[in-house]
Structure 1
Amino acid sequence: MTTLPKSAHRGALTAGQQREANRFTAASAALRRSKMWLALLLGILFWFSVPYSLPRHQPNANATVQEADNSEQFQGAISRQLAVPALALCACFMLWRYPVRGVPGGRLLILICVYVVWALSSTAWSEDPSLTAKRLAVFAMDCFVTYALARTLSTMEMALGATIAMFVTGVFSVLADIFLIHSFNPADADYRLQGVMTPNQQAMNLVACALCCAALMLRRPRWVPWLSVILLSTLAMLWITRARIGTILCIVLLAIALNKLLRDRVRPHVRVGILLVLLSIVVPLLVFVVGNSGGDAAQTAFMMGRHDTENTSNLSNRLPLWQELLDSVEERPVLGYGYGAFWTEQRAARISHDQGWPVPHAHNTYLDQVIILGVVGGALYLAIMVSALVVAWRRYLHLRSSSNLLNAMLLTWLVLLSSSESAPLDPHMPTMLVYIAVFRMCLREGSVDMADPEPDRPIVEGIDAATFTVTQPAPAVSPVARAGHGTGEHKVFPSRHASLLAAQRRPS
């Protein structure tokens, strides 16, 4: 519950001041409850807005069924048609009822606006204008949902909800492999955790979960025991996806988070002792592995036990795919084929036939952007992501908070992963978290998510009453229409939430 500061207790409160304080506290608690219920609803809608499906076959058992499943994302499923507009309605509710945080501005925001206008304009030159219009309608709703989440929820609130949702998805995928398709066998080098999505998508889900979990450990040290269980379970599931690039990026970024945790919580001489213990374990282990495997040790570690070493030279069949797609780029290099107009079901089936494996996208976000929006759109997208990445790390170096670190880690992960996977803006939670972080970099530094609050402060925030003052008799204040829109006179709010507006106050 939100409590009043010590300054409020220096003198006896009048009856009117006490009523005002009680209303403020009740509004704060109501806001936190509303966010919790909304988080549950958003988790359900995110599930149905992405083409997840229960597995019906072994991963390599029936190519025809695989292609049929692969084509489902090109057809508007009724669940997606209902879930995406429902997400937009939730975004409207959040902007209406929740305090809005942050002050937009800066050159990055201009880049984003130019990119959005370019994408919307692609209907004029699209290969299939009607299809582009449909995809742009979904794109516009995705942008609106991203904006609403970035403006109304804190980074740590998003991290908490995303950790729970993505971890549950991972556990459900393990159960699906065990009980539905009976393929769960981590000892088999050819097994990859799949569940309700492809192994690479599953790896993206688990990497984002691990990064959010690490940030929560930094933000709330008392949660470290049970968060450690979630993190270790997530890393175990990530390992059996055998997604090499995602796993490597995850380990590197978690090492950065661990370094911050040790610097914040452990004294220097203890850190040296921990380092020595790790070296005493890792070095003998490396000597043993190299001694037994010889020159194959590095390749085995990189392949994560997979046997498809023949595909390593062509990046798991990506190079032939990119060569074929570059031929299509040469036909429309400047403007592209129009947003969403290239990857039709027919073209995906033809390219899949040429490559000999199901291909729903370019397996390269930057190449996908060039295909649909031309060199102009691809350059704009690259500029947005790199600029957001630079801003994120600058903010973290300026103020080493867990929120700033999480935004920087998420952006680093997706910017590097995008060279081997496609990550469009859609309600897929891992990528949505990154694009929310992109928009947070458009909010002026100092207007939102500054230094980490005290450890006892709830992760799910109510209304910030850190400097709420009632030491002076409060004059009559006109009621505010709704929470988060309008501040009453004579009420001071802290600089950290200077852009937030006060709680709902009802007339007595």
Structure 2
Amino acid sequence: MSSMAPTYVGRASQPVLDGLGRPSYDATNSASHSWHFWLTTGLLGVLFFMTNHDVLVSRLPDYAHYDDSVISVAVGTNFIRRITFFLLAGLGIWFAFFSAGKPWKFNPWIALPILGYVAWCCGSVLWSAEPGMGLKRVITLVCFYLCALGIGRRFEMRDLCWMMFVIIAGYFALGLAMELALGTFRPWQSGHRFAGTLHPNSQAAHLSMMSLAAFALAPREAKWGKWLYAAMAIGLVFVVLTRSRTNLAGALLALTLVAALRSSFKSKLIGVYLAVLAGLTGIFLLMLSGKDPFTQLFEAAMLGREDDVASLSGRGFIWPICWEFIGQRPWLGYGYGSFWTPLRIEQFLEELQFSMFEAHNGYLELLLGTGIIGCGLYVASMVTSLVASAYNTVKTRESSYALLFGVMVFAFIYANSESGMMGINLVTLLMTSQMLNLALRAAAAAQAAEGEPRAAIA
């Protein structure tokens, strides 16, 4: 695994020497870095808001559409969405050319599975169940990876942490403002789930990313550290208010493992001791009050939701049908983005009596689209990114690498109940940018001094 070791090339934020042999880092380049950061942050924030968000979602029954918009989303007929990804591809190509002079490195453990997955998805058009639909989705996928490549090469890992935090914090603030304005923010009611501008499950995933980004940034930010820790706590509170159990479990586990990764062995032992002590004390107090601790823990884990646990909110009915389809094309799948045709959506509607256009499981979604081979390549890229980010966090002591580690931990858990972390959205774009940054961009020799303002946020 020696190939995962970072390559060091000078001071953080300092580009390599230009052709004249003098440092190209000056006020002009600092300003360029800053406006590139804010341009990218603003563009990603606006474009993904236009394509994925709905300011009135908190008023919808079960926070979802049950009309022709389901089929429209599934087949990708949204004109704005098409234009969005061509713009993102253009941004990525521009940044890739702009960063051509930056030192390259090649981590084959990450880069080759990603390249293999993209190539496999492109090739899947040849055996796609719906070639026209599959071709549109493959074009979108290529645009997605071009954008991720450009962003990953242009920015440092810490910039990508700030980018994720700023965009999602903006979404959260707008979503909370919309619920307050619409009068739908009622956390005291048993059936309420905080949605903002997304389905509660998607909102919980975004808030988990915001908390992870804040936690990754805080240790090296003397000026913003306390505010970042506060933002992390607020994010977790609102994850609870979404009543999304898998997201909460994933966020807590990811934060715990990130903290363990950054701490000393002594701190780990103290943390384990305090956690066990707190758990046993809680159980003892519940028993003294005459309550069954296991019943209380179960009710707490349900987060106030009253749906049938055995059915996993309907997933227990969806997954067996998906496995039947997977069994028919196990190795190749139905072609990238080609499974959820209007006809299949109607079939699932007749069988389940509710509309859907995803498997609600990331691994099943990959198997349906790209088969065992495509799923294996994608998961391999996640595993190697998890290992490489953990290695860099421990060896360089640069906390921003911990965000990718936390995102990978969260993704593995989240994919058991949702498909979002294997799809195309803001979170996966920034996640992929971090993976490509780790695979292809040579790291800087010395990170910015603790508390030193970044050019992008100064």
- Partner-residue secondary structure (3-state), 2:433: helix
| Cα distance change, pair 261–24 in 1 and its aligned pair in 2 (3 A) | closer
| Cα distance change, pair 62–382 in 1 and its aligned pair in 2 (3 A) | closer
Shift of 1:40: 3.9
One-letter amino acid matched to 1:359: M
**Is 1:232 equivalent to 2:227 in the alignment?**
no
**Is 1:188 equivalent to 2:189 in the alignment?**
yes
- Identity, % of aligned positions: 21
| Cα distance change, pair 203–287 in 1 and its aligned pair in 2 (3 A) | same
**Is 1:145 equivalent to 2:147 in the alignment?**
yes
What CA distance in whole angstroms lies between the structure 2 residues aligned with 1:61 and 1:210? 25
What CA distance in whole angstroms lies between the structure 2 residues aligned with 1:371 and 1:81? 23
CA RMSD of aligned residues (A): 3.2
**Is 1:458 equivalent to 2:453 in the alignment?**
yes
Q: Please, which runs of 5 or more residues in structure 2 have no aligned partner?
A: 1-10, 12-19
Whether contact under 8 Å (1:162, 1:212) holds in the other structure is yes
Q: Deviations over 1:120-142 (max 9, x none)?
A: 11111111111111111000000
Shift of 1:83: 1.6
One-letter amino acid matched to 1:178: L
Whether contact under 8 Å (1:92, 1:148) holds in the other structure is yes
Q: Which residue of 2 aligns with 1:484?
A: none
Shift of 1:31: 1.8
- Partner-residue secondary structure (3-state), 2:440: coil
| Cα distance change, pair 353–204 in 1 and its aligned pair in 2 (3 A) | farther
| Cα distance change, pair 331–27 in 1 and its aligned pair in 2 (3 A) | same
One-letter amino acid matched to 2:200: P
Shift of 1:362: 0.7
Larger radius of gyration: 1
- Partner-residue secondary structure (3-state), 1:221: coil
| Cα distance change, pair 174–85 in 1 and its aligned pair in 2 (3 A) | same
What CA distance in whole angstroms lies between the structure 2 residues aligned with 1:147 and 1:382? 19
1:43-62 alignment to 2 at 5 Å? Answer: 43-48=44-49, 50-55=51-56, 58-60=59-61
What CA distance in whole angstroms lies between the structure 2 residues aligned with 1:363 and 1:192? 19
Shift of 1:427: 5.1
Q: Which residue of 1 aligns with 2:17?
A: none
Whether contact under 8 Å (2:109, 2:381) holds in the other structure is no
Q: Deviations over 1:287-325 (max 9, x none)?
A: 4445354131110121112122xx212322212211011
Whether contact under 8 Å (1:32, 1:460) holds in the other structure is yes
Whether contact under 8 Å (1:334, 1:376) holds in the other structure is yes
What CA distance in whole angstroms lies between the structure 1 residues aligned with 2:260 and 2:366? 35
Which of 163, 166, 186 matches 1:164? 166
Q: Which residue of 1 aligns with 2:429?
A: 432
Q: Which residue of 1 aligns with 2:420?
A: 423
Shift of 1:421: 1.3
What CA distance in whole angstroms lies between the structure 2 residues aligned with 1:366 and 1:429? 19
What CA distance in whole angstroms lies between the structure 2 residues aligned with 1:371 and 1:436? 25
**Is 1:299 equivalent to 2:294 in the alignment?**
no
Q: Deviations over 1:46-87 (max 9, x none)?
A: 424633222267343798x53444334224223212221111
- Partner-residue secondary structure (3-state), 2:152: helix
1:58-457 alignment to 2 at 5 Å? Answer: 58-60=59-61, 65-74=65-74, 75-98=76-99, 100=102, 102-180=104-182, 182-258=183-259, 284-289=281-286, 291=289, 293-294=291-292, 295-308=294-307, 311-423=308-420, 428-443=425-440, 447-448=442-443, 452-457=447-452
Q: Deviations over 1:108-164 (max 9, x none)?
A: 322222222111111111111111111110000001111111111111111112111
Q: Which residue of 2 aligns with 1:487?
A: none
| Cα distance change, pair 412–179 in 1 and its aligned pair in 2 (3 A) | same
One-letter amino acid matched to 1:159: C
Shift of 1:424: 5.5
**How many residues are paired up?**
434
What CA distance in whole angstroms lies between the structure 1 residues aligned with 2:333 and 2:179? 39
Whether contact under 8 Å (1:342, 1:372) holds in the other structure is yes
What CA distance in whole angstroms lies between the structure 2 residues aligned with 1:345 and 1:330? 21
TM-score, length-scaled by structure 2: 0.84
What CA distance in whole angstroms lies between the structure 2 residues aligned with 1:329 and 1:277? 45
One-letter amino acid matched to 1:53: D
TM-score, length-scaled by structure 1: 0.76
One-letter amino acid matched to 1:305: G
Q: Which residue of 2 aligns with 1:505?
A: none
Shift of 1:448: 1.4
Whether contact under 8 Å (1:425, 1:435) holds in the other structure is no
Q: Which residue of 1 aligns with 2:31?
A: 30
Shift of 1:102: 4.0
What CA distance in whole angstroms lies between the structure 1 residues aligned with 2:414 and 2:89? 28
Structure with more of its chain in helix, by fraction:
2
What CA distance in whole angstroms lies between the structure 2 residues aligned with 1:170 and 1:58? 17
Q: Which residue of 1 aligns with 2:7?
A: none
What CA distance in whole angstroms lies between the structure 2 residues aligned with 1:317 and 1:201? 17
Q: Deviations over 1:243-284 (max 9, x none)?
A: 1121112112223444567769xxx89x96x99998887765
| Cα distance change, pair 322–35 in 1 and its aligned pair in 2 (3 A) | same
Whether contact under 8 Å (1:403, 1:452) holds in the other structure is no
Whether contact under 8 Å (1:84, 1:141) holds in the other structure is yes
